[in-house]
Each structure stands twice: as C-alpha cells, then as structure tokens.
Structure 1
Amino acid sequence: MAEVILKNVSKSFGKTVAVSDIDMTIPDGAFVVLLGPTGAGKTTTLRLISGLETLDGGEISIGGRVVNGETPAQRDVAMVFQQYSLYPHLTVRENLEFPLKSPILKTLPEEIKRKVDEVASVLQITHKLDNKATALSGGEMQRVSIGRALVREPQVYLMDEPLSSLDAKLRTDLRIELKRIQASLGATILYVTHDQIEAMTMATHVGVLNEGKLVQFGTPREIYENPNSLYVASRLGQPRINILPADLFGTAPKGAHRIGLRPEHVMQGEGRAAQVGRVERLGDHTRLHLRLDGHDITTLADPHTGYTPGSEVKIAPHNPLCFDAAGNRIY
C-alpha cells in the first residue's frame, strides 16, 4: 500500500471548475472518504488520481513517486465503480481472474488461482465461483466487482460510490465487509460518497468537498464535533443538525448569526417551551420533532418517553455551534 499526496490539484471542464487547488494527504493504510453533494468534485478527484483525467495544474504522487505523466496502468491503482462492470458471459472465477491475466502483471497460473481463491473466501463468494455473473444477485455482483480490484493488490484502491445502487440491508452488510477487508489487508482506500453514514462508519479520515474545494479534512469525530463552517456541520449527522437563529435562546456570542444544535445537544426539562409535532419511536431511542417560534427542531428522547403530539417540552441548548452571517464558525 502507499501514501497518496495531492498538491494544488486543479481541473476544469471548459468554464466549469471541477477541482480547485486541492491539497490532501491520504496516509498509507488509511480509509479516506470524500464527502459532498453532486458536483462537489469528488469523482473528478478520484479520476485525476487514477489517471482517467489529466491535471490542469498541481501534482499527484503515489508511494513517493510523482505520477502526473503516467497512464492508469502505470499508476498501479484499482478502481471500483458504482455500476458492477462485470463480463456477463464469464463465470465469477473468470471475472476475478481477468485483471491478473493482464500482460503487464505477468501473473503465474498457480498464483492467479491462489489469489482468486483467497479473495473469494474473504468476500464469502467461494460457492459462486462457477456461476455466470448474470446468475448473481445485486449484492453478489458488487462483491465480485470489489473482488476484481482486490485480486490486483495495487498500491491504492479507488472506489466511486460502490454501494449506492444496493438496497439498505446490502449497503449495511457491505459497509461492514469493506471495513473488515480494509483493516485485514492494511489497504489504502479513497472512497467517494454522498452518504454521511458510510463516511461516519467506515472512514479513518473524511475530506469534505464544496464546489471543487477541500473545505475540511480530519477524522469523522473531528468533522462531526468541530466543523469549521455551517456547510461542513450539515454534511455529517443523522438526524441533521438543527440550524436556528442565534437569538432564539438568547445565549449566542457577539457576531453569531446562526447556531447549530446536534439533536443530542438539545437539553430537555428547562428553558423555552416547545410544542411536540411528531414522535418517532425507533426502539433504542425516540426522536422528537418540535416546533419553537416557527422553527423545526429535532431532538432525542428516552425510548420510553410519554410525549405525544401536542405535548409541551422545555428545551435549552447545550454546547451550540455558532456561525457568522457567511456561515463561518465562531469559536
């Protein structure tokens, strides 16, 4: 595996700036998630690292080697796409073998068999090796697609929303599987998603992108607890952070225009009286959807709470995040 370093990386398509002056270090063995909405520059960054797009400016190095002028094959990276990209007429084994039969890799037949059997075992698809790709379920197809990258043992794995087309249960299962595989292999993975749950549960580091710029980079806990802007604060957290006028509770510092309250930071039992609009009982906890002076507020409550729609509950902020009129954090 290898460290990946981006220095002042930029890319435009005509007049559209896709990536602008990104500086980022992906540590060796890290699971880095690029997070942001559609158009933030996530996939373009991935494609620039892979060599599928050419840089307009800046420098990319992989394992201490500048790769700006190298082809995708020379960069020794493996990419997993959102769609399965399997050969339907081949068996699972033949699909897994295909990258290893490249004349560039020159892999011996016995080594091909060893690697395919090993990856199939890791992905729990050994019993499917002789099946045609078309006979697999969606989750199995994506496992094979991931397996085609794993057999390569490249310096870096690049994954572009590989779980987004799967149903909720399969996404959960494969999130756990991917993290387990990454930990066991010590793999360096750069993973693109707009799903904050994937970022929170899998990443060792999260890079938040906005309009082609890297606006914050850190551990998921750092990004969640100490965002540097309103935009970043809104990227992580489920339910979403409550964004409210700074003077709603009368406790904001000078210069604050809005405050951000995570649901767990809305204290109950004292403060201002809010109306309960909806109660979501989710087993291990309950969500309360409140209304205060025309503003919606979501908070968490005991799973056995007796609140019902129309109830009144007093609330107060605890450790609110404060932002100025431009959305920048006030510390």
Structure 2
Amino acid sequence: MAEVTLHNVTKRFGTHVALDNVSMTVPDGSFVVLLGPTGAGKTTTLRLISGLERPDSGEILIDGRPTQGLTPAERNVAMVFQQYSLYPHLTVRENLEFPLKSPLLKTPKDEIDRKVKAIADILQIGHKLDNKATALSGGEMQRVSIGRALVRNPQIYLMDEPLSSLDAKLRADLRIELKNIQANLGATLLYVTHDQVEAMTMATHVGVLHHGRLVQFGSPREVYEQPVSIYAAARLGQPRINILPADVFPGAPPRAVSMGLRPEHIRQGQGEDSLVNRVERLGDQTRLHLSFRGLSLVTVTEPHTALRDGDIVRIEPSNPLYFDADGLRLA
C-alpha cells in the first residue's frame, strides 16, 4: 500500500472549477472518507488520482512518485464505482479473475484461484462463483464489483459511493465488512460518500469538501467536535446540529453571530421553557422536536421517556459552538 499526496491540485471543466487548490495527504494504511454534497469535487478527486482525469495545475504523488504521465494501469490503483461495473456475459468467478489476468500483473493460475476464493468467502459470494453476473441480485453484483477491486494488491483503493444503491440492511452489513477488510489488509482506501454514518463508522480521516475546496481534514471525532465552520459542522451528526442565533442563550462571545448545538448538547431539566412538538421514538433513543422562542430544535433523550407532544421541558445549552458572520468557528 502507499501514501497518496495532493499538492495544490486544481481541475476545471470549462469555466467550472471542480477542484480548487486542494492539498491533502491520504496516509498509508488509512481509510479516508471524502464528504460533501453533489458537485463538491469528491468524484473528481478520485478520477484525478486514478488517472482518468488530469489536473490543470498541482501535483499528485503515489508512494512519493509523481503520477504525471502515468496511465491508470501504471498507477496501480483499483476503483469501485457507484454502479456495478461487471461483464454481464462472464460468471462471478471470471469477473473476479479478470483484473488478475492483466499482462501487467502476470498472476499465476494457482494464485488467482486462491485470491478469488478468499475474497469470495469474505464477501459471502462463494456459492455464486459459477453464476452469470446477470443472475445476481443488486447487492450481490455490488459485492462482486467490490471483490474485483479487492483481489488485486493495488497501492490504493478508490471507492465512489459503492453502497449507495443498496438497501439499508445490506449497506450496514457491507459497511462493517469493508472496514474489517481494510483493517485486515492494511489497505490504503479513499472512499467517497454523502452518508455521514459511513464516514463516522468507517473512516480514520474525513475530508470535507465544499465547492471544490477542502475546508477541513481530520479524524471523524475532530471534525464532529471541533468543526471549522457551520458547513463542516453540518456534514457530520445525525440528527444534524442545531444552528441558532448566538444571543438566544446568554454567554455568547464577542463577534458571535450563530450558535451551534449538537442534539446531545441540549441539557434538559433546567433553564428556559420549550414546547415539545413531537416525540420520535427510535428504540435505542428518543428524539424531541422542540419549539423555543420561535425556533425549531432537535434533541435526544432516554428511550423510555414519559414526555409527550405538547409537554413543556426546560432546556439550556451545554458545550455550544459559536460562529462569526461568515460561518467560521470562533475559539
């Protein structure tokens, strides 16, 4: 595996700036997740690293080696796309074998058989090896697509929202599998998603992209607890962070325009009266949707709370975050 570094990388498509002077290091053996909405520059970053696109300026290094002039094959990367990229006329076994039969890899037959069996067992598709790709369910096809990347030993795995088209249970199962596989292989993995649960549960590092710029890079906990801006704060956390006027509670510092309160940072039982609009019971927790001074808030409470719609609770902030007029975090 290898460290991947971007130095001041910019990419334009016509007048649109897809990536704007981005510098970032994907450490060797890390699981890095890029977060951001559609158009933030996530997929463009993967395509630049893979060699499917070329930067207009800046430099990309893989294992300390500049990639300028290298073809995608010469970069030794493996990419998994959002949509299944399988050969429909081939069996599962043949799809998994395909990258290992590349003239560049020259993998011996017994080694191909060993790797295919090992990855098929990990992804729980061993019983499907002789099935045609067209005979698989959507979840099985995506497992094969992921497996085709995993059978190789690339310098970095690039994954572009590979779980987004799967149902919730399979997505949760594969999320755990992927993290286990990455940890066991010691693989370097760069993963694109808009799903903050995937980022919080799988990533060693999170990169937050906004209009092609990297606004924050750090551990999931660091981005969650110490966001650099309202935008970064809103990328992680479910329910989302509550953003309120800074003066809605006393104690705001100078220059503060907005206050951010995570749902778990609204203390109940003291403070000021708030109306319970809705009680949302989720089993392991209960969410309270509140009205406070004409503002809507969401907080969490214990699962078996006796609170009901229309009740009054007293609330006050705990560990609030403050932001200036530009939405940037104040110390």
> TM-score normalised by the shorter chain: which range applies?
over 0.9
- For 1:207 and 1:184, the matched residues in 2 are separated by 23
Aligned twin of 2:101: 101
Matches within 5 A, 1:44-123: 44-123=44-123
How much does 1:29 deviate? 0.3
Q: 1:249 touches 1:272 (CA, 8 Å); kept in 2?
A: no
Matches within 5 A, 1:153-164: 153-164=153-164
How much does 1:251 deviate? 2.0
- For 2:325 and 2:158, the matched residues in 1 are separated by 37
Secondary structure in 1 aligned to 2:289? Answer: strand
Aligned twin of 2:219: 219
- For 1:165 and 1:304, the matched residues in 2 are separated by 34
Letter in 1 for 2:238: Q
* Cα deviation digits, residues 242-282 of structure 1 (max 9, x gap): 00011111221111000000000000011110000000111
Aligned twin of 2:266: 266
How much does 1:194 deviate? 0.7
* Cα deviation digits, residues 192-239 of structure 1 (max 9, x gap): 011111100000000000000000000000000000101000100000
- For 2:329 and 2:152, the matched residues in 1 are separated by 43
- For 1:69 and 1:22, the matched residues in 2 are separated by 20
How much does 1:289 deviate? 0.3
Q: 1:3 touches 1:64 (CA, 8 Å); kept in 2?
A: yes
- For 2:117 and 2:281, the matched residues in 1 are separated by 45
- For 2:169 and 2:68, the matched residues in 1 are separated by 40
- For 1:234 and 1:283, the matched residues in 2 are separated by 24
How much does 1:309 deviate? 0.7
- For 2:68 and 2:59, the matched residues in 1 are separated by 6
Q: 1:273 touches 1:313 (CA, 8 Å); kept in 2?
A: yes
- For 1:62 and 1:90, the matched residues in 2 are separated by 32
Aligned twin of 2:29: 29
- For 1:304 and 1:150, the matched residues in 2 are separated by 44
Secondary structure in 2 aligned to 1:247? Answer: helix
In structure 2, stretches of 5+ residues that fail to align are: none
Does 1:138 pair with 2:141? no
Aligned twin of 1:4: 4
Does 1:173 pair with 2:173? yes
Does 1:152 pair with 2:133? no
Q: 1:55 touches 1:68 (CA, 8 Å); kept in 2?
A: no
Letter in 1 for 2:20: S
Does 1:315 pair with 2:304? no
Report the TM-score when normalising by structure 2. Answer: 0.99
Secondary structure in 2 aligned to 1:200? Answer: helix
Secondary structure in 1 aligned to 2:90? Answer: coil
Letter in 1 for 2:174: L
Secondary structure in 1 aligned to 2:235? Answer: coil
How much does 1:114 deviate? 1.4
Letter in 1 for 2:112: I
Matches within 5 A, 1:162-311: 162-311=162-311
- For 1:224 and 1:242, the matched residues in 2 are separated by 13
Deviates more, 1:293-302 or 1:233-242: 293-302
- For 1:113 and 1:206, the matched residues in 2 are separated by 36
Deviates more, 1:38-47 or 1:107-116: 107-116
- For 1:107 and 1:306, the matched residues in 2 are separated by 63
Report the TM-score when normalising by structure 1. Answer: 0.99
Deviates more, 1:128-137 or 1:255-264: 128-137
- For 1:233 and 1:43, the matched residues in 2 are separated by 22
Q: 1:92 touches 1:131 (CA, 8 Å); kept in 2?
A: yes
How much does 1:141 deviate? 0.8
- For 1:119 and 1:63, the matched residues in 2 are separated by 25
- For 1:298 and 1:162, the matched residues in 2 are separated by 31
Aligned twin of 2:129: 129
Letter in 2 for 1:285: Q
In structure 1, stretches of 5+ residues that fail to align are: none
Secondary structure in 2 aligned to 1:144? Answer: helix
Deviates more, 1:299-308 or 1:40-49: 299-308
How much does 1:5 deviate? 0.6
